Chains A and B, each alone.
Chain A
Amino acid sequence: MGDYLCEVAAEQKDLALVVETHSQSLLLSLQLAVMEGRLPPEAVAVYWIRRLSDGRSRAELLPLDKAAHPVGWPPEVFGERLEQSRRLVLSRRRLGAV
């Protein structure tokens, strides 16, 4: 899906694709497409929608740097699964469980 969207975006420059996603895989596809030269970095805008304490949401632009990192990515986002796995490994080690 990610590759297809990148292909369409690269070919049809007058087309704006707006994608709402929680998919880590889709973000990685975009990053890879930029690094592999299939999509110019300026063709991609990543926004993180942050819910603030007054109940409103704010769209924060996270530009891709020259190595296709979304600059300012919220550190805990997409890290939950691996963080849980990390804690599981540490717990097992602490308890001596295999």
Chain B
Amino acid sequence: MRVVLEEGIFGPGEPSRLDLLSLFRLPLSRSHTLEVDPPDSLGLQTWLEGLDVRTADECRFALELSYDELARRPKPEGVRVLPAPSASWERPVRLPLSLAIGFLETPLQVLVENNRRDRSFLRTVGFAFRATLDRLEGTGFQFVHGGGLSEMLEQVLVRSRQPEWGRRSFVIFDSDAVCPGRSGAANERLARICAERGVPFHRLTRRASENYLPPACLEQHATRMGRPRRERSLRTARAFGQLLQDQRHHYNMKRGLDGDQNHPDREAGEQLFAILDGGKRDALRHGFGESIGDLFEEAALVQDYLLAADGQGPEMMQLFEALLAEI
């Protein structure tokens, strides 16, 4: 998170040296960036001169680390630390030093629908960010199991009642859309509540995380099965690979076309697949099964060049830039 220190906190009578030093250690021990407003603050210089040489050097290094990262990474201002007695939790959050330290030491809670599966999904599709995610998991952020949409909504409502938690959360969820732009009422409600409460979120543009599995992976997965499942799965995978992009992105991966027969948005979904011929429709009736998302745990199968060719890069870049800015 991008942290801006107002010059006033370095003034006489302001918080203890130890509190300020804790803040300067954040870029070293966490992933926050730190800067001072104004950058050439006389108060900062005076404060640094009052420290022993080694500690002052560490503080300058914390600022150097931060400026280096900010040169390349867009990060909206997350927290402003100022000499004020009370907090304001509107973005950017404005906090007195006494509250800022505890807030910034709390790892970001990344609320996902299924902790294990979504972790694998994000580590796989975010291959360009994987090393950073692995480095930051635990101290910088934690995955939190959200459950289904209604449970996630409940968690967001509870969290946003405590502003310090609402501001250290990031929500990721499926769009559940049977065709582009048709996410359904519960899904829209979750997105709206997140936006209204200032909780950052990313709603996948495709229907579900499984829709990010490249067709070649599904086909390869099918070839590993025993007969007679192999023939049926291969047929499904090949038919899936021949779909138009929107169809692939909104196909019911687990239960197939038949799985949407009782869907409230059934007609919109049917329209998307109306042009399919009988053979393809038949091949796509049953989907790939409930556990198809487990393929994201197989790094040897879901390889980076297949993901890159699938065209999901721009969305993932947007997702991970937003996530890293909050961590």
What is A's interface to B at a CB cutoff of 8 Å? 27-28, 31, 50, 52-54, 56, 58, 60, 65, 67, 69-76, 78-79, 82, 85-86, 89-90, 93, 98
Interface centre among A27, A31, A67, A86 (most CB of B within 10 A): A86
Q: Report the bound CA distance from A78 to B304 in whole Å.
A: 22
Q: Specify which of A53, A60, A78, A89 is in contact with B61 (CB 8 Å cutoff).
A: A89
- Which chain B residues border A72 with CB–CB below 8 Å? 128, 317, 321
In the complex, B227 has a CB within 8 A of chain A: no
Q: For the complex, would chain A's binding face be called helix, strand, loop or mixed by DSSP majority?
A: loop
What is B's interface to A at a CB cutoff of 8 Å? 27-29, 54, 58, 61, 64-65, 68-69, 71-74, 128-129, 131-132, 303-305, 308, 313, 317, 321, 324
Contact A54 B305 (CB under 8 A): yes
Q: For the complex, would chain B's binding face be called helix, strand, loop or mixed by DSSP majority?
A: helix
Contact B305 A53 (CB under 8 A): yes
Q: Report the bound CA distance from A23 to B313 in whole Å.
A: 25
19 further A-B pairs in the complex, CB-CB below 8 A; given A50-B128, A71-B74: A28-B71, A52-B308, A53-B305, A54-B303, A58-B308, A60-B313, A69-B71, A69-B72, A71-B317, A71-B321, A72-B128, A74-B129, A75-B73, A75-B324, A78-B68, A78-B72, A82-B68, A85-B65, A86-B61
- Which chain A residues border B321 with CB–CB below 8 Å? 71-72
